[in-house]
Chains A and B, each alone.
Chain A
Amino acid sequence: MAPVSGSDLADVPDPSPVPAEKPRGPERTSAVAGAFKDALVSGLLTALLFLPLVGFRASESSTGSLVLTYRFGLVAIFAGIVMVGRFLLMVTVWNPNRPPRRVSTTPGVMARLGALASPAVKPVFFSFAILYPFLSILLAGGLSPSRYWVDLGIYVLTYVMLGWGLNIVVGLAGLLDLGYVAFYAVGAYTFALLSTSVPINDFFAGTLGDDFWTAWAFWICLPLSGILAAMWGVILGFPVLRLRGDYLAIVTLAFGEIIRLVLINWVSLTNGGAGISSIPPITFFGVPFDSSETGFASIFGLEFNSMHRMFFLYFVILGLAALTAVVTIRLRKMPVGRAWEALREDEIACRSLGINTTLTKLTAFATGAMFGGFAGAFFAVRIRFVSPESFTFMESAVILAIVVLGGMGSQMGVAGAAILLIGGMELLRNLSFLKADFLFGSDFDPSLYRMLIFGFAMVAVMVWRPRGLVSSRMPTIFLKERKAVSGSLVKEGHG
């Protein structure tokens, strides 16, 4: 449990004038005493909070009925940790007697270094992204051992792209969308349904050759997925135009859930919860990645390796993500992008200045949804299986968390947050040293704690750094001098 901000719990030292010869001793002891009292209260509170659900566990007995097991030791450990942590914080960082930190007028060393490094961040990031698969071959020692790392790169880049797509809606236009995964699902199902469709396959088999549809399905369906998702963005966006803030968030959440429930229940179209499998794999613009004579390897004179396909997938998602970034950057400098940001800042002012808010909101929804659709099609061709399981609300929450933690509106921040969150969650899966006997024992499963830590991180970032990792913004339009502004000055709109 995170410590409560304790200024009102701690004993505030007596403000009455202190005799000059009196040393600072008593004041300090009162601070320590206050901290001790405070720590005791927090510890007790933690113990009470953890008592019912950690202290007892209802586990299934062999007969199927529930029996209670007791874990009071665990409660005591947690309470002790909170108590000690709280005490240490109270006497150091949160000490009411600590002299207030001097506010320096010149930027600190770190800030100056950051300012120096900032022009280099984007090129470095993109060169690293391009070099990443080659680096992973080098470091993993060979083509096949690098599979895990390339796969991880694809996984992270998918979320970078989704984050950038949602960033258009949330970060630029200020419309809080909790159902973004719906567009991801539309894209994935569009590609899955079209590529496995027998009539379409037969039609192309009759006109352009037997293998045409399996070879070209992804490249033809990719734009279609984006267009269909954009269409759904408009369809879902249209009714919610009048809604603002939290209501908009809840309605988009409801839309996301409705789409998922329809995907589960419309069995004749989507095969229900069982999902759609045997989606054709990606091809190198028509050339399949297989060991045959006409395959990618033999055409390019390489030895066949299933990693070729992974590499290609990596560069496809890198290209798609880069496309998202470039389009966003360009749009921000165009009237529509400026209108989005104006809408985020003040909708009423926008309307009085003659901006068509309906059109502006719809374009934001549609553009964001289109990139979601692209990412969905890519997801389907990568996994080659889609089911409603992949498009739960949790997925929307993860993407939203990436946008928020990155600092809404900042592209590098979103990319950094995606790498941190998704990569971090993935790392947690591999922390096998925690299974050592002296730590948690062999039945400890770190991956169970992924979402727990994830939820905790979301709360913690909001409390400690509500403007995200990158908290400054570079305005696209400026008077005389271009300079970064604090994220606190950027509103999040009322849409």
Chain B
Amino acid sequence: MDVFLQQLINGLTLGSIYGLIAIGYTMVFGIIGMVNFAHGDVFMVSAFIALICVLLLTTVVGLSSIFLILAITLVVAMLFTGLVSWTIERVAYRPLRGSFRLAPMISAIGMSILLSNFVQVAQGPRNKPLPPMVTEVIVIRETNGYEVTLAYKQIIIMVVTAVLLAGFWYLVKKTPLGRAQRACEQDRKMAALLGVNVDQTIALTFVIGAALAAVAGVMYLMYYGVVNFADGFVPGVKAFTAAVLGGIGSLPGAVLGGILIGLIETFWSAYFSIEYKDVAAFSILVVTLIFLPQGLLGRPEVEKV
């Protein structure tokens, strides 16, 4: 029971991070129907931007309040990552919008390789460790020396995720931008005829997705305290799994899928074998796509001739 409770907490934390990344996949897939392969690497880039920002704030500016540091880092990382993603869309995806279907996918794979190797060249191939930032924990219950703990940083992650999701939900459901986005999702040509700036809407979708990935990046850095240039690939694939599991194109689905993947991964590591946890996540992807391609909350795809 205690182990279960602890794994539940860990799984929810991990799931929040996956959910935040998964939204970027699901939104981009919804609006232009491509798998943004570089999204996992955008997440990694955001973690590096956060690392630089934290170092700058602690060593050069000399801030000591951890919450101020986190808040500033969050804003900086979201801004810069949004800019990176905007540029990627503009340079690598927009010229290919009328091209054959594989073209943006291949361009995205190239972009993914470009980003991870760019970071490797610019920042070096080694792991970048930070001193632990938030170390306080709350002990929920204790039996026979086994403590079930809820770390402050886990609370921060879950709260930040929930708040941002609420804000984001409002953005998509209630604002003109959200309306334009949903219109583009349904019919891009018709939306353009009705005066929606399709290019701008798509670019903003990329920026929003990247900003949420940047939140995930900051949280990842705070939670694990270490980042590496190759850290984008596996979380990226897992977040994509989450998006598919929840039903691609569906926003609540992405979050639900993220949390499910996080839970499955932690429980698998705790009860079965930690070596095969990635195999478990990848197998879920395969099984979902084969048996439940529309996902838990998605709409079934209608085949048109």
Could you tell me which A residues sit within 8 Å of B by CB distance? Answer: 1-5, 45, 48-49, 51-54, 56-60, 64-68, 176, 178, 239-240, 242-243, 245-247, 249-251, 253-255, 257-258, 261-262, 264-265, 348, 393-394, 397, 400-401, 404, 408, 448-449, 451-452, 454-459, 462-463, 466, 488, 491-492
A405 nearest CB neighbor, chain B only: B106
Q: Are B87 and A257 in contact (CB under 8 A)?
A: no
- Contacts known (A250-B289, A492-B101); A459 close to B111, Cβ less than 8 A: yes
Taking a contact as CB atoms under 8 Å apart, the answer to whether A68 and B52 are in contact is: yes
Do the beta carbons of A258 and B131 come within 8 Å of each other?
no
In the assembled complex, B166 has its CB within 8 A of some CB on chain A: no
List residues of chain B with CB within 8 A of the CB of A2. 91-92
B186 at the interface (CB under 8 A from A): no
Chain A: minimal CB distance from B131 (Å)? 7
Q: Which of A59, A247, A404 contacts B289 (CB 8 A)?
A: A247
Taking a contact as CB atoms under 8 Å apart, the answer to whether A249 and B122 are in contact is: no
Give the chain B neighbours of A67 by CB distance below 8 A: 55, 59
Give per-residue flags for B271-305: 1 if the beta carbon is below 8 A from chain A beta carbons, else 0.
00101101100110110011001000000000101
Cβ-defined contact, B96 with A462, below 8 A: yes
B172 contacts A by Cβ under 8 Å: no
* B contact residues around A258 at 8 Å (CB): 279, 282-283, 286
Task: Determine whether the beta carbon of A245 is less than 8 Å from that of B101.
Answer: yes
**Do A462 and B110 touch (CB < 8 A)?**
yes
From residue B290, how far is it (CB to closest CB) to chain A in Å? Answer: 5
- B111 touching A455 by the CB < 8 A rule? yes
Contact with A along B102-141 (1 / 0, CB 8 A): 1111110111111101111111101011110000000000
Complex alpha-carbon distance, A48 and B84, angstroms? 9
CB–CB A45/B129 < 8 A: no
Flag the segment in B14-22, B43-51, B62-70, B152-160 that touches A.
B43-51
Cα of A251 to Cα of B286 in the assembled complex, Å: 6
The distance in angstroms between the C-alpha atoms of A462 and B83, with both chains bound, is: 22
Complex A-B: 15 CB contacts under 8 Å: A4-B87, A56-B55, A66-B128, A68-B52, A68-B56, A401-B109, A401-B110, A404-B106, A455-B113, A455-B115, A456-B114, A462-B92, A462-B96, A462-B103, A488-B100
Does B1 sit within 8 A of A, measured CB to CB?
A: no
Contact B107 A462 (CB under 8 A): yes
Q: How far is the CB of A70 from chain B (nearest CB, A)?
A: 10
Question: Which residues of chain A are near B278, meaning CB under 8 Å?
Answer: 257, 261
Which of chain A's residues have a CB closer than 8 A to the CB of B60?
Answer: 68
> How many Å lie between the Cα of A456 and that of B279 in the bound state?
30
Size category of the binding interface on chain B: 35 or more
B106 touches A462 (CB 8 A): yes
Contacts of A257 in B (CB 8 A): 237, 278, 282
Picked from B90, B106, B282, the residue with its CB within 8 Å of the CB of A458 is: B106
Expressed in whole angstroms, the Cα–Cα distance for A83 and B273 within the complex equals 53
Q: Which residues of B contact A239 (CB under 8 A)?
A: 286, 290
Chain A proximity mask over B213-254: 1 for CB below 8 Å, otherwise 0? 000000000000000000001000100100010000000000
Can you name the residue of chain B whose Cβ is closest to the Cβ of A459? B110
User: Which of chain A's residues has its CB closest to B86's CB?
Assistant: A45
User: Given A53-B123, A466-B99, is A249 in contact with B118 using a C-beta cutoff of 8 Å?
Assistant: no
Task: Report the bound CA distance from A400 to B37 in whole Å.
Answer: 14
Taking A449-B117, A466-B99 as given, write out 15 further A-B residue pairs in contact, using a Cβ cutoff of 8 Å, ordered by the A residue number. Answer: A49-B83, A49-B87, A51-B80, A67-B55, A68-B52, A246-B34, A246-B105, A253-B237, A261-B282, A264-B275, A265-B273, A265-B279, A455-B110, A459-B92, A462-B96
B213 to chain A minimum Cβ distance, whole angstroms, is 15
The answer to whether B106 touches A1, judged by C-beta atoms less than 8 angstroms apart, is no
Does any Cβ of A come within 8 Å of B35's Cβ? yes
Q: Which 7 A-B pairs have the closest CB atoms?
A: A458-B110, A455-B114, A455-B113, A462-B107, A452-B117, A459-B110, A254-B282
B75 part of interface (Cβ distance < 8 Å): no
Question: Could you tell me if A455 and B96 are in contact, using CB atoms closer than 8 angstroms?
Answer: no
> From residue A376, how far is it (CB to closest CB) to chain B in Å?
21
When distances are taken between beta carbons in the complex, the residues of chain B under 8 Å from A265 are: 273, 275-276, 279
Residue of B nearest to A448 (CB): B121
Contacts of B99 in A (CB 8 A): 462, 466
**Is B53 part of the binding interface, using a Cβ–Cβ cutoff of 8 Å?**
yes
User: CA A458 – CA B279 in complex, angstroms?
Assistant: 29
**Interface residue B95 (Cβ < 8 Å from any Cβ of A):** yes
Report Cα–Cα, A262/B277, bound state, in Å: 11
- Asked if B128 and A58 make an inter-chain contact with CB atoms under 8 angstroms apart, the answer reads yes
If the complex has contacts A53-B118, A60-B126, are A250 and B48 also in contact, measured as CB distance less than 8 A?
Answer: no
- Taking a contact as CB atoms under 8 Å apart, the answer to whether A240 and B59 are in contact is no
With A455-B114, A459-B92 known as contacts, the answer to whether A52 contacts B107 (CB < 8 A) is no
Question: What is the bound-complex CA distance between A457 and B129, given in angstroms?
Answer: 32
* A49 and B84 contact, CB distance less than 8 A: yes
Closest chain A residue to B104 by CB distance? A462
Q: Is B110 in contact with A448, judged by CB distance below 8 angstroms?
A: no
Which residues of B are found within 8 Å of A455, using beta-carbon distances? 110-115, 117
A492 to chain B, nearest CB (A): 5
Whether the pair B126, A463 counts as a contact (CB closer than 8 A) is no
The answer on a CB contact under 8 Å between B109 and A458 is yes
Residue of A nearest to B291 (CB): A239
In-complex Cβ contact of A466 among B103, B244, B273 (8 A): B103
- Residue numbers in A under 8 Å from B113 (CB-CB): 394, 397, 451-452, 454-455, 458
Do A58 and B123 touch across chains, with their CB atoms under 8 A apart? yes
Q: Is the CB of A56 within 8 A of B279?
A: no
Select from chain A the residue with minimum beta-carbon distance to B276: A265
A404→B83 contact, CB < 8 A:
no
- Nearest residue, chain B, Cβ from A494: B101
Which residues of A lie under 8 Å from residue B96 when comparing CB positions? 462-463, 466
- Most central of B56, B84, B101 by chain A CB within 10 Å: B101
